[in-house]
Structure 1
Amino acid sequence: MIRAKVLSHGTVHCFPAGLRDERDRLVNAEVSAVVYDGSRLILASDKPVPGRSPVFAVDIDEGGIPDDTTLTYFTAETIVRATKYEDFALTADGKHILATTGFDRIDDASHDLNAYNHLLIWPLGEPERVQVVDPDPRDGVEGSLELRAKLDAAIGTPYYKIEGLAAIPGEHGDGLLMFGVREQGNAHDDFDYVCRMVGAHYRITSDGNLEFIDELRSLYAFDPSAHAGVNHTCGLSSLEYDPYNASLYLLTSFETEDEDIARIGGYLWVVSLQDLAAEREPQLVCDEQGEVLVFEHKAEGLAVLDETRLFVAYDNDRHLGLGSIDERDERHACEAPFTLLAMSQ
């Protein structure tokens, strides 16, 4: 049994309080991606942050708590332009950061929605050197549109949404890059929640970009509802490779209505790389008492800090309640809630 102990909860300020958009609405922090680069957390909101950037970094103290006084925005034009960030990953060798958007919309008649279709890469600590992975071969067309065509073929449905990204060591090239699929179906209003991964082997080119060396294909899938203790329909919300324990963490989250009461939350899973390759079921993580760990917030981002500690970031959309993680009833719109966990067997 894999158990998780809550070390701490809190919130991190993602931008100044009271920040408003062009319609004079309060900007809401919706952190959907996080990765630890060895010295600081890099986080991203799946909504734009006017005048700044949806991607930013904060230092953490020895206890793993983020220090938002150290907040630094990543302002490279390519990073700011991409829209709806959903997950980060380190390359398998730990030398580059990868960032994916949702790939959940495209306009076949124009390039107006290309911002939603990006896989980005930059060297660790050098976000100004960001590059677009697998772009359209035509000059001046932004977005990972060649990659989108490959995702179309691998996933096989007209509509899908990417919410997970992880790179693990592979038998070919520099590693195996996996995309986590949360939704798939005929359209944005006609889909099923899924927990599925597609991917391909990759290598890093001499100019620091990423190229695929075989075809994207289905790699892994599981049904959370088949596991005792999972009482909500949920979809995959994050992937995170754990190099210390040769395993992969998976987050699933849910947003449902029960008797007109909105419910949000999530579950944490882990699978060894050996079991992943054999397509065996993941293990559902439990709390200290041996009961299924159920997050009371919508778990969307996951970062491995070291051999035992995990950082979980929540994207509650516009729900401001803090529940048990803070003595306050509500967070400020500029704050994102988080939980720090210690894992054990």
Structure 2
Amino acid sequence: MTRASILQQGTIHCFPAGLRDAKGELVNAEVSAVAFDGERLLMASDKPIPGEERSACFALPMTDAGPDDSKLAYYTQPLIKQAVKYEDFALSADGRHVLATTGFDRLDADSNALNDYNHLLIWPLGKPDDVQVVDPDPRDGVEGSLELRGKLNGAIGFPYYKIEGLAAIPGERGDGLLLFGVREQGQAHDDFEYVSRVIGAHYQITANGNLEFLDEMREFYAFDPDSVDGVRFECGLSSLEYDPYHARLYLLTSFENEVDGEEYIGGYLWQMSLEDFRARRAPELVTNPEGQPLEFEHKAEGLAVLDHDRLFVAYDNDRNLELGSVDERDERHACEAPYTILEISASPAS
């Protein structure tokens, strides 16, 4: 049995308090992607953060005392600023490159107006100036990973979908297997079901530092979290994370439900060995120290392995400002993103 205990909780100031967008509306921190490069937390909001000197993607040191947002730095490279609706980060299987995906949840068939929502980016660790678009459209001047979108279309099999997970694991070919987590699929953005599917393809890093796929994109895994005892609400996959210390894969699922007019948000954490993943066995639901299912009180959207025993969880509560147990205050400022640091341990089966 895998158990998680809370080591630390808090909030990260992602931009100045009171920041407003071009319409005069208060900007809200909605962190949906996180990775850890050994020194820094890389984070991204799935909503733009306005300002020439800012972007939705940023980094901050991870110290012994926790995240240090006094040294937060934005990634303002044009390609990184251009992509919209970041959903997950991953390190390449060898840990030398950063990968960032958007949601791929919208495209205008008659124009390039929504191409910014369709990006997979790659850059060498610590060198965001060298960012490149993966699998771009071959036509000059057409932005976005549109070749990749065609491959996702074929593997997912629905006209509408949303990507929210990304992880690179060791594979049988090339430099590894790149996995995409599917959260929603259906006929349209207002006609879909929540799912927990994982599709992917083997890849290699090219001589110029880009990524190319070596085989056909296909489904590798799927499960139904709602059918597991202790899961109280309908969930969809919200993040994937490879744990190289234990050769396992973490899957994060989250929910946003309304029951009798009351909103419920939260999430669950799952883990499985790479062997079990390849055999398509059921994942294990991580529990709290008392052995009950670990249910996050916030909408868990980002997950990063910090070291052998610790995980970092980022929350995207949309416009919900309640802090719950994260802070003694009742509500966060719109510029703050709540987080939790967990310690993971294995207990012998009873």
Shorter-chain-normalised TM-score: which range?
over 0.9
List per-residue Cα deviations over 1:31-81 (Å, max 9, x = no partner). 000000111000000000001100000101124x10000100000000000
SS at match of 1:75: coil
Secondary structure of 1:149's partner? helix
Q: Any runs of at least 4 consecutive aligned residues in structure 1 with deviations exceeding 2 A, and if so which?
A: none
Letter matched to residue 57 of structure 2:
V
2:60 corresponds to: 58
Query: TM-score, normalised to structure 2's length?
Result: 0.98
Q: Matches of 2:251 and 2:293 in 1, distance apart?
A: 15
Match of 2:16 in 1: 16
- The 5 A counterparts of 1:269-284 are 269-284=270-285
Give the equivalent residue in structure 1 for 2:254: 253
Partner of 1:234: 235
Once the two structures are superposed, the pairs formed by residues 129-148 of structure 1 within 5 Å of their partners are 129-148=130-149
- Which residue identity is paired with 1:24? G
- Structure 2 CA distance, aligned partners of 1:93 and 1:8? 29
Q: 1:193 matched to which residue of 2?
A: 194
| 3-state DSSP of counterpart to 2:296 | coil
Q: How does 1:2-13 map to 2 (within 5 A)?
A: 2-13=2-13
Deviations 1:237-285 (A, max 9, x none): 0000000000000100000001100110000000100000000000000
SS in 2 for 1:69: helix
* Aligned equivalents of 2:226, 2:68: Cα separation in 1: 37
Helix, strand or coil at the partner of 1:200? strand
- Displacement of 1:225 in angstroms is 1.3
Aligned to 1:109, the other structure's residue is in SS state coil
SS in structure 1 at match of 2:61: strand
For 1:156 and 1:255, the matched residues in 2 are separated by 25
Match runs of 1:124-163 below 5 Å: 124-163=125-164
Q: CA-atom RMSD, angstroms?
A: 0.5
What is the CA deviation profile of residues 302-327 of structure 1, one whole-angstrom value per residue up to 9, with x for unaligned ones?
00000110000000001000011110
- Equivalent position amino acid for 2:37 in 1: D
Where structure 1 has 5 or more consecutive residues not aligned to the other structure, the ranges are none
Q: CA deviation at 1:114?
A: 0.1
Partner residue, 1:43: 43
Which residue matches 1:165?
166
**TM-score (norm. length: structure 1):** 0.99
1:44-123 equivalence runs, <5 A: 44-51=44-51, 52-63=54-65, 65-123=66-124
User: Is 2:278 the counterpart of 1:292?
Assistant: no
Gaps of 5+ in 2: none
| Partner Cα separation in structure 1 for residue 50 and residue 33 of structure 2 | 18
Aligned to 2:328: 327
Equivalent position of 2:306 in the other structure? 305
1:113-171 deviation per Cα after TM superposition (whole angstroms, max 9, x unaligned): 00000000000000011000000001111000000000000000000000000000001
Distance (whole Å) between structure 2 residues aligned to residue 342 and residue 302 of structure 1: 13
Deviation at 1:226, TM superposition (A): 1.6
Counterpart-to-counterpart distance in 2, 1:261 and 1:123 = 45
Q: Deviations over 1:191-228 (max 9, x none)?
A: 00000001000000000000000000010000001210
Distance (Å, rounded) in 1 between the aligned partners of 2:160 and 2:62: 38
Residue 152 of structure 1 aligns to a residue in which SS? helix
Q: Which letter does structure 2 place at the counterpart of 1:168?
A: I
Letter in 2 for 1:336: A
Q: CA deviation at 1:295?
A: 0.2
The number of residue pairs the alignment matches comes to: 344
Per the alignment, residue 337 of structure 1 pairs with: 338
Which residue of 1 is the match for residue 219 of structure 2? Answer: 218
Distance 2:115 2:226 in 1: 34
Among the aligned pairs, what percent are the same residue?
A: 69
Describe the SS at the equivalent of 1:151: helix
Q: Distance in 2 between matches of 1:22 and 1:254?
A: 30
Q: Distance in 2 between matches of 1:181 and 1:130?
A: 24
Deviation at 1:296, TM superposition (A): 0.2
In 2, distance between residues paired with 1:261 and 1:8? 28
Distance 2:155 2:138 in 1: 20
2:239 is aligned with what amino acid?
S
